[in-house]
Chains A and B, each alone.
Chain A
């Protein structure tokens, strides 16, 4: 899952970027509203965390422009403007959720999880379920019935993206662009390695390979 963070406070961004990375998100950070308007078209982000009081262009203006351009990416507004009329204005302009500063980091993570699930049309359970598996995002583990299977950070990231898109054909390029930010080293071999590790842990059938096209998550376990 790839997140675009638009936040002009360097101190806060310095905290949020590691926090989000720690929880398995690929994060790109921008501080200027004008950059954000353009940047969102360059990479396939899954979610935007948007501050409102931005230099260059106000967050609400940025959001308005995105929505006018027909961009339907989920947007979580993270702002110090906490009056109710501002919250409602944010939602009117097309925000999907609104979190006010100061906030608890866990709260932000929960909201991001919920928003991602909603945007993929998933029911709002405690765990993300697809096929025969249930993903526990706080513990970064996966459950198969009563059995909890531990995952490495990279495996968790990949499985989460698969589970958000069950049954869909995902090319390597797609996977890479959603799992890594621009600073990461994108090597298609690394992707294959992680797919193979997941198969070793969960069974061969859980992810199908379409030769020359990519992968499909089936969620089927032996």
Chain B
């Protein structure tokens, strides 16, 4: 848009400038010509004054009264005097022919003169002693004409040059004037990507209020997120401790007294627990918010692995591949949740080996988590993701982790698919689109 505007502005300035300059030169030339005509008129009168009636009554031309230029050959000033008896030509014409203007007054065009001169001609009719005398004078116009032609050509060349130079200077000024804005824009982008937590306040005075406002907004968003997360955590705490009490009591006392009721209670409490966990994890997702903490798999995942090794009390071979210290543009807490749940499942079910593979390209980040455990039969894979269905009563909440991971992937506009791993167990494939 700006470029198109600049080009059209440049073009109209160019055309207008050229038109005005050419018109001005044309007008100046006309003025000049007018003055020359005035001079020619005076010249004609001068030539007439050089005519003197002789003793015989015939007119003679007194050369000494003429302007010296009329005597120098091809001087550029010429005359022809016609009387019924005689015709006088100025000596300056030498032997070149000159056709005087046809009608009295200023010749409409330029006359061809000697030595390739172009002449401005003027013709006047007088009556001297009852005799018609026609005086034609001409003056070389070519120097004037050439001068104007040169001026016109120079205008054609210099005006675009001047304009181009001005445009460059303007561009430079604009660029310099807008550079703080560009810097601020780059910083806002970094802010969005989580590469920085605030804009630098050290900017030109005009931008300072804007930068301060953006920083305040960013802080506000951050606080809002923190607040809602804490509120969720508190709610979780408030619900889960009573659930734990209920469940333990149920296991301790009810199991012997009333096995049916125990089964019912246990089942219901477990369902409530699962619902609370899933709802909380959904509410916690920060996808789309500003990512102040970005996820760095090689820094963050070893901690997850350490936690899992302690929790499951088993040492498995864990391989991670496909990364070179990249930081991914996703919220750290969300990714910890995603990978924590996926790897937790893998740790529960793997026999001896877990592989985590990253496949990064420009558009998306694909993560594949594989284990060598029993896997999930193809027919049940969909239901696992849909409802967080528990597949095995012995190991708590098998499907829930996958369902939570699925929710997270969806929140990031990604997908989560289950498949059979070449290692023998389950392969979970998560694709997350990278923000452009």
Contact = CB atoms under 8 A, between A and B. Distances in A.
Interface of A: 9, 11-12, 15, 19, 53, 79-88, 91-92, 96-105, 110-111, 114, 124
B226 to A, nearest CB: 12
A12 B241 contact: yes
A102 B269 contact: yes
Given A83-B284, A86-B233, A88-B300, A97 B311 contact: yes
B333 A101 contact: no
Contact of A87 (B236, B238, B249, B340): B340
Interface stretch (B55-63, B202-210, B301-309, B376-384): B301-309
A96 B307 CA distance: 9
Interface in B232-264: 233-234, 236-249, 251-252
Contact of A80 (B241, B251, B311): B241
B242 A11 contact: yes
B403 to A, nearest CB: 15
Contact of B303 (A79, A88, A97, A124): A88
B270 to A, nearest CB: 9
Sorted from nearest, which 3 A-B pairs have the closest CB atoms?
A84-B340, A102-B244, A80-B240
Given A15-B252, A83-B333, A96 B310 contact: yes
A87 B309 CA distance: 13
A148 to B, nearest CB: 24
B411 to A, nearest CB: 14
Given A12-B241, A101-B240, 4 more contacts: A85-B333, A88-B304, A98-B311, A102-B273
A9 B310 CA distance: 26
Nearest to B306: A91
B81 to A, nearest CB: 114
Contacts of B300: 88
B277 interface: yes
B313 interface: yes
Interface string B297-334: 00010011011001101000000000000000000110
B156 interface: no
Contact of B336 (A88, A98, A110): A88
Contacts of A53: 234, 237
A83 B306 contact: no
Nearest to B396: A104
B61 to A, nearest CB: 117
Most chain A CB atoms below 10 A, which of B237, B280, B340 = B237
B281 A114 contact: no
B337 interface: yes
A97 B233 contact: no
Interface of B: 233-234, 236-249, 251-252, 269, 273, 277, 280-281, 284, 300, 303-304, 306-307, 310-311, 313, 332-333, 336-337, 339-341, 396
Contact of A15 (B249, B310, B396): B249
A97 B245 contact: no
A133 B341 CA distance: 39
A104 B255 CA distance: 14
A86 B230 CA distance: 11
Contact of B233 (A11, A83, A92, A104): A83
Contacts of B239: 80
Most chain B CB atoms below 10 A, which of A11, A99, A114 = A11
Contacts of B340: 84, 87
Nearest to A105: B248
Contacts of A103: 244
Contacts of B313: 110-111, 114, 124
Contacts of A9: 241-242, 245
A12 B236 contact: no
B281 A79 contact: no
B346 to A, nearest CB: 14
B336 A84 contact: yes
A97 B310 CA distance: 6
Nearest to A8: B241
Contacts of A114: 313
Given A87-B340, A98-B311, A110-B313, A81 B245 contact: no
Nearest to A99: B311
Contacts of B233: 80-81, 83, 86
A84 B277 CA distance: 12
Nearest to A118: B310
B249 to A, nearest CB: 7
A88 to B, nearest CB: 5
Nearest to A117: B313
A85 B241 CA distance: 20
Contacts of A86: 233
14 contacts: A11-B241, A80-B238, A80-B240, A81-B236, A82-B277, A82-B280, A83-B336, A84-B333, A87-B340, A88-B304, A97-B310, A101-B240, A102-B273, A104-B251
A62 B87 CA distance: 131
Contacts of A91: 303, 306-307, 310
Nearest to B338: A84
A88 B269 contact: no
Nearest to A107: B396
A82 to B, nearest CB: 7
B379 to A, nearest CB: 29
A97 B340 CA distance: 15
A114 B241 CA distance: 24
A85 B304 CA distance: 9
A100 B245 CA distance: 13
B303 A101 contact: no
Most chain B CB atoms below 10 A, which of A12, A85, A105 = A85
Nearest to A15: B248
B185 to A, nearest CB: 31
Most chain B CB atoms below 10 A, which of A88, A101, A102 = A102
Contact of B337 (A11, A85, A98): A85
A85 B336 contact: yes
Contacts of A11: 241-242, 245
